[in-house]
Chains A and B, each alone.
Chain A
Amino acid sequence: MSLNVALILGYFGFLLAGFVLHSRPVAHPWLFLLRGFFPKWQFFHSLGQTPRLYFRQLTDDEWSAWRGFTPRAKRRLRRLFYNPQVNLALSEQNLVELLASDLASCEEDAAALRLVSYRMVERLVRLKLGLMSRWTAYQFRICLERPGAQVDFEKDTILLSPVLPATEGES
């Protein structure tokens, strides 16, 4: 076996060991912002629970039903070269997943409300509702959904926001 082949096998063997041996995650704000330099390359790897955003609005003193946010689009070949809206929708879902991840490491409810991800999701919901007229308040929740299963708000909710006013900054 040549040295090159041995080096290749050794390198991929090292990666293989990484699947079994888990190191302690390192957390730092700069590492979060610069995580592009430390890619994990684990795509669609496990069927864990998916954080999903639900929201409702208050109109004429009556709450609407909870509506879920799931990025959906129609398939088009031209989107191979220009796909901003689908990529934005996927990014919005990633934001919801980041909030769920932040909540897992948040020890008190009050701290959750100050999270960057929480405030961005709050704004996301406000913008999603923006097109609808006459609503005066809104509320959202984050649920952990199992793939293929119906959501159960009682069991699956990890965050229920306070009732939020229609105008930003009033709460």
Chain B
Amino acid sequence: MEFPLSLAARSVEALCGVSLIIQTIEFLALREPLSARGVWTYAIGQDDLAHASRVTQRLFAFLSRDEIWLGHLVMRLLASLALLIDGGSLPLVGFLFFGSVVVLIRWRGAFNGGSDFMTIVVLSGLFVARLCCAYGDEDFGLRVGLIYIAIHSASSYFISGGVKLLNVDWRSGTALPLFLDGGVYGPLPAGSLYWKKPIAIICSWAFILWECLAPLAFLDVAFAFVYCAVAGVFHLLVFWYFGLNRFVFAWLSTFPAIIYVAGQLN
């Protein structure tokens, strides 16, 4: 069974559009922390760019002005909507890619950690794909973009599982309840099931094994579908327990790429 290239690329674009819409609406609500009155005011943040050229510094000083920032976010919202509804083009994806880089630099490299990074991965893949489409072979470009996204997505699970596997606190079930306890929805109630050692060990090992099995997704399209379905549930759990809503949509947009690559390899 194969996942057609154009459908896979279109699915990634649409899901990435949804992810960017949610992120941008949140950024629109969070303009105050970046304003002159906020914690991330450019008056302080400009020192991060002390090493940069004068042109770059002046560019970021301009982009950081409140009204310019608002305009950028509104344009980003419209571009994300266009990506969802109508698909990508080189100027559209290029604007979203470079705009996301500017947003990240303004938040000192990351606002929401992994979800920012996966968003950049997806936009990089789509940007490379659209560059190739514009100046070369369309199918080749889309294929390269999807492979790039799929490799990063599967690697993210594998590496995350691998470091847990090597960590004794995860293997013994000690880490999970303590992370939940310190999380945004913590502290864990004294009677929580997660404090019970057998439950914590079973949950921890379920996560570790599932994450480490990420390479299996590429062995068969059916495996890829099942892996992505479980991954969707996994990210919903991460949202429910740690409040990381952006992770759900950032990773969701990579799943069509994983399924497409699995189809190509078999």
Do B167 and A94 touch across chains, with their CB atoms under 8 A apart?
A: no
Which residues of A sit under 8 angstroms from B152, Cβ to Cβ? 39
Nearest-neighbor residue (CB-CB) of B185 within chain A: A75
Q: At the interface, yes or no: B25 with Cβ under 8 Å from chain A?
A: yes
Bound-state CA distance A81–B22 (Å) is 6
The verdict on A87 contacting B246 (CB below 8 Å), with A8-B219, A11-B151 known, is: yes
Q: At the interface, yes or no: B206 with Cβ under 8 Å from chain A?
A: no
Q: Determine the main DSSP class of B at the interface with A.
A: helix
**A38 nearest CB across to chain B (Å):** 8
Bound-state CA distance A89–B117 (Å) is 19
Give the residue of B52, B117, B240 whose beta carbon is less than 8 angstroms from that of A36.
B117
Q: Total number of A-B contacts with CB less than 8 angstroms? A: 177
Q: Determine the main DSSP class of A at the interface with B.
A: helix
- Residue among A8, A40, A87 with max Cβ neighbours from chain B (10 Å): A87
Which residues of A sit under 8 angstroms from B89, Cβ to Cβ? none
Q: At the interface, yes or no: A155 with Cβ under 8 Å from chain B?
A: no
Do B162 and A19 touch across chains, with their CB atoms under 8 A apart?
A: yes
Do B175 and A44 touch across chains, with their CB atoms under 8 A apart?
A: yes
Q: At the interface, yes or no: B239 with Cβ under 8 Å from chain A?
A: yes
- Residue among B51, B110, B164, B179 with max Cβ neighbours from chain A (10 Å): B110
Which residues of A sit under 8 angstroms from B243, Cβ to Cβ? 73, 75, 79, 83, 86-87, 90
- Residue among A18, A91, A98 with max Cβ neighbours from chain B (10 Å): A91
Q: At the interface, yes or no: B59 with Cβ under 8 Å from chain A?
A: no
Query: What are 19 A-B contacts defined by CB distance under 8 Å?
Result: A8-B215, A12-B215, A19-B159, A33-B49, A34-B101, A34-B109, A35-B109, A35-B117, A36-B109, A42-B160, A70-B182, A75-B240, A84-B27, A87-B26, A87-B245, A90-B243, A91-B107, A91-B112, A95-B108
B residues neighboring A (CB under 8 Å): 22, 25-27, 29-30, 33, 38-41, 44-45, 47-52, 101, 104-105, 107-114, 116-121, 124, 151-152, 155-156, 158-160, 162-164, 166-167, 169-170, 174-175, 178-179, 181-182, 184-186, 214-215, 218-219, 236, 239-240, 243-246, 248, 265-266
A residues neighboring B (CB under 8 Å): 4-5, 8-9, 11-12, 15-16, 18-19, 29-30, 32-37, 39-47, 50, 70-75, 79-84, 86-92, 94-95, 98, 116, 119-120, 123-124, 127, 147-148
